[in-house]
Every structure is written in structure tokens, then in C-alpha cells.
Amino acid sequence: MYKLCLALSCLIFSVQVMAQTNTFIRQEQNLGGGSINIAVSGAEQEEGDVYFDEAEKNEKSGDLNDALTLFGKAAFEYNNSGNFPRYGASLLRLSNIHYLLEHYTEAEQVVLNVALKTYSRFGNRTGQMASYNQLGRIYLAANKLTQSMWFYTQMGILARQSNNNTSYIDSILGIVQVKIKKKEYSLAMKDINRAELFAKNSKISQFKGQIKDARTSIAEKKIFLK
């Protein structure tokens, strides 16, 4: 646990240094939000790629503690090389490993204090939405339902502003999970129907399984209550 806390402290410090010494970054804003050109250092970029690939292999094989260490190393190398997109991706994957290990405080802090602040600083809306989604999942698992609802709502607002229909549907289904946990089944069902209709109108089919599972979950819980 000491090593995990130390690694987290190093990541938080690294993003602060990044903000102060970001001469390697040249930002270009557009209406979609978050287009950034970066001068990448080859050696550190390659090191980051190696760590990231190994982390993914360890995650798939169930070696989560090793994956945790390797995603942290990948994030460190990407930050040093100035590869902003891979840096953010590594941070979110690092948070997800903490989430899988049920280290909810650590998972929260990586996103809240490092990933989200970094994405927000450079106006990367896709990264911001991914961060909101991850925080929604973390708080839901930790049974902090008010916080979970807030972040899923923020994700939905940003998705609508960005015309990102997939993320918008994802945010609604996140809110559905919060309402199910709060036993607000009627409200959850309304949101499911809203997500389904929006997906149909947007010709997005990837959420059919989630929508079906959510309906099944509500039906089962209602039967149990009877």
C-alpha cells in the first residue's frame, strides 16, 4: 500500500511539473475540443509503449498488481516524452486497475487529481468525458450515489455540447445504474426508454445488451420486492 501511495504522489507531482514546464506542448483548440500537437521524445515514448503493452498483458492474465505498476510506469514515461494522449490513457487505465482491485480512493484520486485536471487544462473533451465516466463508475461501486449521479450528469452535459451521441447514451445508462441502486425503478425505466429511443434515432446499436440487462435487473428486483 505504501508503494501505491508513493506512486500516486509521484503522478500528482508529475502533472504539476508538466503544467509549469510544458514547452514541449503546442495546443490547438477547435470546436470539437482537444486537438493537441506534441513533440514526442523517441526513447521515452518507446519505453512507455513497452510498459503499456506489458500492463495490458498482465491485466488480461489477471496479474492486476503488476498491471498497476506497469501502467504507472507507462504514464511516467509518456509524461516525460510529452505524449499527452497516451499519458491520459495510461492514467485512466491505472485508475481502472485500482477500481478492479476495489481501491476506490486510489482510483478516484488518479482521475480527480491527475487525469481530469490534465484533460481540462488542454480542453480535451473526449478525455474529460472518459474521466467523468470513470468517476461515475468508481463512486457507484463505492456506494457514493450522489457523487456518481453528478459525474454521469456532467458527462451527459458535455456529450450534448460536443454532439457525442455515444457518450450521451453511455451517461444516461450510468444514471440508470445509480437509480437502480437507489431503488428508483420507475425513474430508471424512463431513462432506459429515453436511452433506447435516442440510440435508435442515432442509429447506434452497441448499447442493446446494456439496455436489455438493465431492464432485466429492474424486473428481477421488482419481483424480489413482491
Distance CA 29, CA 35 (A): 6
- pLDDT at position 57, please? 97
Domains of the chain: 9-15+33-123 (1.25.40.10)
Distance CA 31, CA 29 (A): 7
pLDDT in tens, 26-48: 332 332 344 344 445 578 888 99
- pLDDT at position 225, please? 66
- For the chain, give the percent of residues with pLDDT over 70: 81
Q: Is the pTM of this model over 0.85?
A: no
User: Which portions of the chain are predicted below pLDDT 50?
Assistant: 1-6, 9-10, 12-39
- pLDDT at position 84, please? 83
Pair 113, 125: CB distance under 8 Å: no
- pLDDT at position 4, please? 47
pLDDT in tens, 64-83: 999 999 999 999 999 998 88
The residue among 24, 2, 6, 126 whose CA lies nearest residue 73 is 6
Cβ atoms < 10 Å from Cβ of 214: 22
- pLDDT at position 25, please? 30
- pLDDT at position 52, please? 96
DSSP state for residue 60 in the 8-state scheme:
H
- pLDDT at position 41, please? 56
- pLDDT at position 83, please? 87
Q: What 3-state DSSP class applies to 176? A: helix
Give just the sign of the alpha carbon dihedral 41, 47, 51, 56. Answer: positive
Pair 167, 193: CB distance under 8 Å: no
